[in-house]
């Protein structure tokens, strides 16, 4: 687990929520053809113009969502959603995320790898003036020479 930096947390505080998708209901689809025929041509044209502007707003909003998501994930390196980071930060005083290490991408020959050396169990260094006398029961007693 790795903690978020203060800069990342401040970004989450400044942008606490992601933009959500808006569903637009088209009035021209809801109204019957008879109802549209009874309306004046100017009113029908206004309805179609409103729908076009709403569709353009949806396209702009989706582009903004992609820009903000790219900024969050690639520039600030925040893999989680802002709400999750802020919940952790307010509850614990810090926020963490899990780092996933993928060794499959690295092309390393297994013959080139050096096996890891494992240290022997027990004390590995000697102290000057101290002698360890082994008993038959397996334990050792420490005796000072001086």
How far apart CA 131 and CA 128 sit, in angstroms, is 8
Which pLDDT belongs to residue 126?
60
pLDDT digits 0-9 by tens, 1-22:
888 889 888 888 888 877 676 7
| Token code pair at residue 66 | 């992609």
Task: Give the bridge partners for 131, in sequence order.
Answer: 143
* pTM, 2 dp: 0.50
Give which of 125, 123, 143, 126 is closest to 134, Cα–Cα: 143
Q: What is the mean pLDDT of the chain?
A: 78
* Domain assignments of the chain as residue spans, ordered by start: 2-102
pLDDT digits 0-9 by tens, 68-125:
888 888 888 888 888 888 889 999 988 888 877 777 655 555 555 556 566 666 655 6
Query: Is the pLDDT at 144 greater than 80, yes or no?
Result: no
């Amino acid at each position: 687990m790795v903690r978020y930096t203060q800069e990342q947390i401040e970004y989450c505080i400044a942008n606490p929520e992601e933009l959500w998708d808006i569903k637009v209901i088209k009035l021209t689809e809801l109204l019957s053809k008879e109802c549209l025929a009874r309306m004046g041509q100017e009113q029908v044209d206004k309805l179609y113009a409103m729908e076009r502007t709403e569709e353009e707003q949806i396209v702009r909003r989706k582009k903004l969502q992609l820009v903000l998501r790219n900024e969050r994930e690639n520039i600030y390196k925040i893999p989680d959603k802002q709400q999750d980071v802020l919940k952790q930060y307010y509850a614990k005083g810090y926020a963490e995320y899990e780092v996933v290490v993928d060794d499959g991408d690295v092309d390393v020959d297994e013959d080139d790898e050096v096996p890891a050396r494992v240290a022997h169990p027990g004390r590995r260094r000697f102290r000057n003036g101290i002698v360890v006398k082994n008993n038959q029961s397996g334990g050792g007693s420490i005796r000072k020479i001086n």
